[in-house]
Amino acid sequence: MIRKVIPLMLLVVLFLAVAACSAGQADTPETEDAAVSEDMSDMEEVVEEAPEAEDVQESEVDEDSALAAEIAKIEEEAGTKNFVPDFQGALERTSGKKFEGVTVVLFGASGQVDGLLPAARAWEAATGATVDVNDYPFAEVPEKMITALSTGIFIGDILNVPPYFAGDLMGGGLIEPVPDASKAVLDWDDVMAVYRENQLEWDGVTYGYPWDGDVHSLYYRTDLYQDADLQAQFEDTYGYALDVPKNWAEFADQSEFFTGEWADGKQHYGATMLLMRKNHGSEGFLSVAAGFNKMPDDPAFYFDPDTMEPRINNPGFVKSLEYLQDLLPYMPPDQLNLDWFGNLQAFVSGLTALDIQWADVGPMSYDETISIIGGSVGYALTPGSNEVWDARTNEWVEFPETNIAPYAAFGGWMNMIPANAQEKEAAMDLAIFLSSPEVLQYVSVTPGSGVNPARTSTFENEEAWLNVGFSGAEEIEAFIASQVESAEHPNAVYPLRIPGYLQYKDALELAISKALAGQMTAQEALDEAAAEWEVITDSLGREAQREAYLSSIGIDS
């Protein structure tokens, strides 16, 4: 009995439910009519209250002035007493379009990508768009980006990344080219040639928007070099006057001289540079190797451009590594484990007299939380060598004047728009804004931004550099000179940027680390690295790699 009653009850419930739905539907037209009617009456009111043309203009003027006031407020908040950024000027270079409701995702390294945000607030205010950040620790950026792009996963509308991915990303067709119109509004000639050609371009096509320029320079303690007693002691010991080292031999003498107990009764060391494996460990070595190996009339440095045979185990590179082996006793005991910040800290905390580093040293020397040497830092080009190995003729060449070859270590950071960006138009607009001379001036003089100059105009406003705490015009001019001369030096060496860069780099860093730890001779270690480079080149295709290398150093294949 129950079995019959239950289906019957369910049937009744179903019927009632259908009836209820039908009633609801029957009501809908009335509701819609009512709504339309209300809208119409609203519209009538709107029509009745429609403003005159003058009122529209006034309203637009009000909006513009409100926006200008908001931008001015953002500029004021981002600036300091020494420097107020011109975000309004940067906005005038953009399309002026509104992107209400659009979210542009910035992908990059934590800390580095944060530097974009204060300026991006002005672009958000002007366009109505939102800027979101997808950031990861620096070491994880390659992993996240490569795995995402290789599987077609969206990771950001703008990638803020180093240029060593150029071969894989730009060469792999994964990046949108920068339109000529964008380059025109960005005063492209103002971007320093070294970054335009070696960072932002691939095979004659521009893919990157400038952000950060990077080049290694020499930093030294002016108070020590100006000390009369130390000058006399040095001259007695080494037979020549204590002056800023111009070649690596002088650098070694001075490193030895400054190692020991100083007037403060504490142990100090001569020099520090980046040698930690997997943390810029090849940058210090290549800064030295550039001087011993880069012939001014030979654009190639890492490979033989005809055969792609590595040059890194030739006598010039071996001498560079042996030089570092000899220099190691005059560096802090944990030199091989000093990462970028540890290296910086070693110098600005007063532990060493010399440092080979990026331009961050200048501003960071005024950060009193880590530095005790503010106002006592001198700036110069990295030393060179008077004898240089010519890999084309396989012989040492004597130079009457020191052969200087600054190393544009790491190569800086740039913004790129990936082919799978979801908001390309807005991303392009934001990229133009961020790479404008106005924004790059702001971030370059903002302490802790991690951004170094990539544009010539960034150096022109010397007063802006007071913002980082520099003591005055003399120091600013010395700082600027070291950066400009290094970046624009005709014999500058740029980092390798062909596919497989990180594999080549790791093999080289392993060799450097083995030799410096005394596990192998310099020759053995570099022979091993060169053999590994050959394996990598073959696995990626020798001819394809050769073409990429030639392209990267500006030679037509």
Partner 1 sequence: MMISVSRRFKEKSVEWSFLSPALIYIILLFVFPLLFSLGITFTNMRLLAADVNFVGLANWKRLLADANSFIVMKNTIIIAVLGSFVQYLIGLLLAVLLNKELKGYKFFRVSFLLPMMMAPVAVSYVIGKMVFSETFGPFNDILFRLGLPLFFWGTSSIKSMLLIMIIDAWTNIPFFVLVLLASLEAIPDDIYEAAEVDGASEWQRFRDITLPLVLPASITTYIIRALNAFQIIDVIRVVTGGGPGNSTESATLFAYDLGIKGQDIAYAATVSFALLIIVLGFVFVVNLIRSRIVPQFE
Q: Which of residues 419 and 484 has its CB atom nearest to partner 1 in the complex?
A: 419
- Closest approach, Cβ 82 to partner 1, in A, equals 32
Q: Which of residues 165 and 407 has its CB atom nearest to partner 1 in the complex?
A: 165
- Closest approach, Cβ 537 to partner 1, in A, equals 12
CB 434 within 8 A of CB 87: no
CA distance 508 to 511: 5
Distance between first and last Cα of the chain: 92
Q: Does 281 bind partner 1 (CB under 8 A)?
A: yes
| Interface with partner 1 (CB under 8 A), residue from 513, 537, 545, 552 | 513
- Closest approach, Cβ 520 to partner 1, in A, equals 8
| Interface with partner 1 (CB under 8 A), residue from 132, 517, 554, 555 | 517
Q: Does 537 bind partner 1 (CB under 8 A)?
A: no
Q: Which of 2, 22, 20, 1 is nearest to 12 (CA)?
A: 20
How many residues bind partner 1, per CB under 8 A?
45
- Closest approach, Cβ 543 to partner 1, in A, equals 14
Strand order in the sheet with 352-357: 260-261, 267-272, 352-357, 217-221, 377-380
Q: Does 543 bind partner 1 (CB under 8 A)?
A: no
Q: Does 447 bind partner 1 (CB under 8 A)?
A: no
CA distance 335 to 328: 8
Q: Does 510 bind partner 1 (CB under 8 A)?
A: yes
Instruction: Using DSSP, state whether 8 is helix, strand or coil.
Output: helix
Render 227-256 in DSSP notation, one character per residue.
Answer: -HHHHHHHHHHHSS------BHHHHHHHHH
| Interface with partner 1 (CB under 8 A), residue from 71, 102, 109, 169 | 169
User: Residue 336 CB: number of other CB atoms within 10 A?
Assistant: 16
> Could you tell me which stretch among 15-23, 155-163, 169-177, 394-402 binds partner 1 (CB under 8 A)?
169-177
Q: Which of residues 139 and 181 has its CB atom nearest to partner 1 in the complex?
A: 139
> Could you tell me which stretch among 54-62, 126-134, 247-255, 333-341 binds partner 1 (CB under 8 A)?
333-341
| Interface with partner 1 (CB under 8 A), residue from 102, 116, 120, 149 | 149
Q: Does 528 bind partner 1 (CB under 8 A)?
A: yes
Q: Does 483 bind partner 1 (CB under 8 A)?
A: no
CB 339 within 8 A of CB 276: yes
Output the six-digit token pair for 281: 């460990």
Residues 50-69 that bind partner 1 (CB under 8 A): none
Output the six-digit token pair for 271: 């020099």
Q: Which of 226, 217, 215, 272 is nearest to 376 (CA)?
A: 226
Q: Which of residues 295 and 529 has its CB atom nearest to partner 1 in the complex?
A: 529
CA distance 98 to 329: 60
Beta bridge partners of 26: none
CA distance 169 to 149: 9
CA distance 94 to 430: 8
CA distance 349 to 338: 14
> Could you tell me which stretch among 120-128, 478-486, 513-521, 546-554 binds partner 1 (CB under 8 A)?
513-521
Which residues are at the interface with partner 1 (CB under 8 A)? Answer: 139, 142-143, 146-147, 149-150, 168-169, 172, 174, 276-279, 281, 328, 332-337, 342, 345-346, 351, 499-500, 502-503, 506, 510, 513-514, 516-520, 528, 535-536, 539-540
